[in-house]
């Protein structure tokens, strides 16, 4: 992870992006954030991770962000043999971060010979913003949200709101902000954010009669963002798993 504690949120955000991107692929089985992050910052052999999580492949690496540059190392290890299936080091301008994330995802897919559908090819590595400042606010806000304190949640809300001033069409930020507002009991604002989510997904302007403030929908959002998620993100038909 990052060598600077104040920048650790950025490396964690990148890690979660990779988990999310890879978990969407039908040919992969990916271990969830909660299970993966228990190994953060620890010198643990891939063989132990394999045994404890029941996985074969382990993705490990580091992210260091300084000024306008980012250094990333990543290696995909077959824990049953200890051999590297793929490894790479990146030293890029910060503005290239989204391209690097997509390249890492595609390299992992290629190393494991995963067959992608046309839809998966199109979605892999797709980002919801090209605005680095909005992205930075989002991942930093996400980090605060995981701290689960009243003060941290308030700071997360401020960061998500600022991200939307930088990029009003940043879809995941609308979704997570809807959950935050709902958790605070601000249902009107939560409904407004959900309406934006629907608009961005469908391209259709919000309509008054749709249940944007449906209690069941908002409860589901709160479950996603405010409750622990110890189980794997998805169960795919493949046997490849990628803890980070």
228 CB neighbour count, 10 Å cutoff: 10
What's the CATH fold of domain 5-123? Rossmann fold (3.40.50)
pLDDT at residue 220 in the model = 62
Q: Report, at the CATH architecture level, how domain 132-226 is classified.
A: Alpha Horseshoe (1.25)
pLDDT, tens digit (0-9, with 9 covering 90-100), for 27-36: 888 888 778 8
Q: Tell me the mean pLDDT in the region 209-226.
A: 57
What are the pLDDT digits (tens) for 164-176?
A: 999 999 988 998 8
* Token output for 31: 């271990």
Q: What is the mean pLDDT of residues 209-235?
A: 49
**Average pLDDT in the chain:** 80
Residues 6 or more apart in contact with residue 214 via CB below 8 angstroms:
none
Cβ contact 44:102 at 8 Å: no
- Least trusted range by pLDDT, from 85-99, 145-159, 175-189, 191-205: 191-205
Kindly report, residue by residue over 80-123, the tens digit of the pLDDT: 888 999 999 999 998 888 889 889 999 999 999 888 888 888 77
**CATH 3.40.50.10070 domain residues, the chain:** 5-123
- In the chain, which residues fall in CATH 1.25.40.10? 132-226
DSSP 8-state code for residue 37: G
Distances (CA, A) of 45 to 10, 82, 130, 243: 24, 9, 36, 13
Q: Render 58-113 in DSSP notation, one character per residue.
A: EEEEEEEEETTEEEEEEEEEETTTTEEEEEEEEEEEGGGHHHHHHHHHHHHHHHTT
Lowest mean pLDDT among 20-24, 126-130, 146-150, 240-244: 240-244
């Amino acid at each position: 992870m990052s060598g600077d504690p104040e920048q650790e949120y950025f490396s964690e955000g990148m890690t979660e992006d990779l988990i999310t991107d890879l978990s969407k692929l039908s040919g992969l089985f990916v271990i969830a954030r909660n299970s993966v992050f228990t190994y953060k910052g620890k010198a643990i052999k891939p063989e132990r991770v394999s045994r404890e999580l029941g996985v074969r492949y382990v993705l490990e690496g580091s992210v260091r962000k300084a000024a306008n540059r980012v250094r990333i190392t990543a290696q995909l290890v077959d824990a049953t043999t200890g051999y590297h299936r793929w490894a790479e080091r990146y030293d890029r301008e910060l503005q290239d971060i989204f391209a690097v994330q997509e390249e890492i995802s595609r390299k992992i897919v290629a190393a494991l010979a995963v067959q992608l559908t046309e839809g998966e090819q199109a979605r892999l590595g797709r980002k919801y913003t090209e605005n680095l400042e909005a992205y930075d606010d989002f991942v930093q806000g996400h980090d605060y949200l995981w701290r689960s304190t009243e003060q941290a949640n308030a700071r997360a809300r401020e960061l998500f709101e600022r991200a939307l001033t930088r990029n009003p069409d940043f879809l995941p930020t609308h979704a997570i902000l809807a959950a935050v507002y709902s958790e605070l009991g601000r249902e009107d604002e939560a409904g407004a954010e959900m309406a934006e989510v629907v608009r961005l997904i469908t391209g259709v302007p919000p309509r008054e009669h749709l249940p944007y403030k449906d209690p069941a929908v908002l409860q589901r959002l709160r479950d996603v963002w405010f409750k622990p998620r110890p189980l794997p993100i998805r169960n795919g038909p493949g046997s490849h798993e990628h803890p980070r």
